[in-house]
């Protein structure tokens, strides 16, 4: 192939906006939200909530006061700009009004930061209490993915509630990529929440979780099936479980549908739950645990 012709032709083809792109609204003329800017904002938020842990340069105690002040300003500045870009893509939003409100929404978000910090500290405490391998709370902040994912979730949930769903989703997906834990920003999660290991955990958009709940890796809090409208389009109704206070769910368990797991229940590993569970229950997989089949035969 002749590169001169091919590359020119490919460029022309890629410049051409195809019908599906048009139909899906993927070619937008304005400036779109910047994933990189949002990532920088999350780095700043993590820094003001856990000062000292993630500094790139040496920051003395005297400098801390200025640093936090400046970072709060930067968080506000980035968010205001990104909200202004994102509201355009919010179907349910009154864009004109939201655009005007971007400034206000950014201030409201910043005002929530101390509460976000308070909640995250309960998560750190919960994690430290639930893993015998933990040596210190400092270790939890440095090396437990739940801290990273919950920082992102709690920020994203605040933004989701304030009416910036697109940015909220970008933020939780960042944490999903880093930790393998996928929490939808619409989920409601109480205090003292912990997840150990966590890879493969999925928490759906309408999930409600109480206080002092603990999950392990691979747990799915998912939908059992979808309600579709007359056009076959899935409808966004409550379809994920409710976990009451002090529930523990062991690894790879799946809890599906708008069911309620009563407080102080324990869901065993690998089980598949699709009905309500009363308080103080213990659900387990039974025979498969007790009676593994030992064979000497060939092939598995």
Residues numbered 12 to 41 that lie near a copy of itself (CB under 8 A) are: 13-15, 18, 20-21, 24-29, 31-36
**95 contacts a copy of itself (rule: CB under 8 A):** no
Q: Which of 67, 152, 157, 246 binds a copy of itself (CB under 8 A)?
A: 67
The nearest distance, CB 210 to a copy of itself, in angstroms, is 20
**260 contacts a copy of itself (rule: CB under 8 A):** no
Q: Which of 40, 43, 117, 208 binds a copy of itself (CB under 8 A)?
A: 117
Per the CB < 8 A criterion, the answer to whether 63 and 51 are in contact is: no
Site for a copy of itself in 155-214 (CB under 8 A): 165-166, 169-170, 172-173, 176-180, 182, 184, 186, 197, 199-200, 202, 204-205
The nearest distance, CB 6 to a copy of itself, in angstroms, is 5
Alpha-carbon Rg for the chain in angstroms: 23
The nearest distance, CB 96 to a copy of itself, in angstroms, is 18
Q: Which of 91, 96, 97, 230 binds a copy of itself (CB under 8 A)?
A: 91
- Total residues at interface with a copy of itself (CB under 8 A): 159
Burial class (CB in 10 A: 0-12, 13-18, 19+), 84: buried
**300 contacts a copy of itself (rule: CB under 8 A):** yes
Nearer to a copy of itself, 28 or 100 (CB): 28
Q: Which of 139, 190, 191, 258 binds a copy of itself (CB under 8 A)?
A: 139
Per the CB < 8 A criterion, the answer to whether 127 and 149 are in contact is: no
Query: Which range binds a copy of itself by CB under 8 A, 94-102, 131-139, 207-215?
Result: 131-139
DSSP string computed for 200-259? T-EE-TT-EE-SS-EE-TT-EEE-SS--B-TTS-B-----S-EE-TT-EE-TT-EEESS-
Residue carrying the six token digits 């912990």: 194
Per the CB < 8 A criterion, the answer to whether 278 and 260 are in contact is: no
The nearest distance, CB 31 to a copy of itself, in angstroms, is 6
Q: Which of 46, 50, 79, 209 binds a copy of itself (CB under 8 A)?
A: 50
Site for a copy of itself in 271-290 (CB under 8 A): 271-275, 277-278, 280-286, 288-290
CA separation for the pair 298, 286 (Å, rounded): 26
The nearest distance, CB 46 to a copy of itself, in angstroms, is 11
CA separation for the pair 279, 265 (Å, rounded): 6
**150 contacts a copy of itself (rule: CB under 8 A):** no
Q: Which of 96, 97, 132, 230 binds a copy of itself (CB under 8 A)?
A: 132
Per the CB < 8 A criterion, the answer to whether 232 and 246 are in contact is: no
Nearer to a copy of itself, 42 or 106 (CB): 106
Burial class (CB in 10 A: 0-12, 13-18, 19+), 203: buried
Q: Which of 40, 99, 103, 260 binds a copy of itself (CB under 8 A)?
A: 103
**122 contacts a copy of itself (rule: CB under 8 A):** yes
Closest CA to 203 of 247, 240, 164: 240
Show the DSSP H helices in 29-184 as ranges. 35-49, 61-86, 95-130, 137-143, 145-162, 165-179
């Amino acid at each position: 192939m002749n590169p001169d012709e091919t590359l020119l032709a490919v460029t022309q083809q890629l410049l051409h906006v195809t019908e599906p792109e048009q139909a899906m609204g993927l070619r937008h003329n304005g400036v779109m939200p910047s994933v990189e800017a949002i990532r920088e904002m999350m780095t700043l938020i993590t820094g003001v909530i856990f000062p000292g842990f993630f500094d790139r340069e040496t920051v003395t105690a005297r400098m801390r006061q200025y640093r936090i002040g400046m970072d709060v300003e930067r968080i506000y500045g980035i968010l205001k700009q990104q909200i202004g870009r994102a509201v355009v893509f919010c179907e349910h939003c009154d864009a004109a009004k939201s655009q005007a409100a971007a400034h206000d929404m950014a201030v409201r978000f910043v005002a929530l930061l101390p509460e976000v910090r308070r909640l995250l500290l309960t998560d750190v405490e919960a994690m430290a209490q639930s893993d015998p391998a933990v040596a210190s709370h400092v270790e939890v902040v440095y090396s437990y993915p739940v801290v990273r994912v919950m920082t992102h979730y709690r920020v994203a949930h605040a933004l989701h509630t304030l009416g910036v769903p697109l940015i909220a989703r970008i933020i939780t997906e960042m944490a999903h990529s880093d930790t393998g834990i996928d929490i939808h920003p619409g989920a409601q999660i109480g205090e003292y929440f912990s997840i150990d290991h966590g890879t493969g955990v999925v928490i759906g958009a309408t999930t409600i979780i109480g206080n002092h709940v603990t999950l392990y890796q691979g747990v799915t809090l998912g939908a059992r099936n979808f309600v579709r409208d007359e056009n076959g389009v899935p409808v966004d109704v409550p379809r994920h479980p409710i976990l009451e206070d002090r529930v523990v769910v062991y690894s790879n368990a799946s809890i599906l549908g708008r069911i309620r797991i009563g407080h102080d229940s324990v869901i065993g590993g690998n089980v598949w739950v699709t009905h309500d569970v009363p308080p103080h229950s213990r659900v387990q997989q039974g025979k498969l645990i007790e009676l593994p089949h030992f064979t000497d035969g060939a092939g598995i």
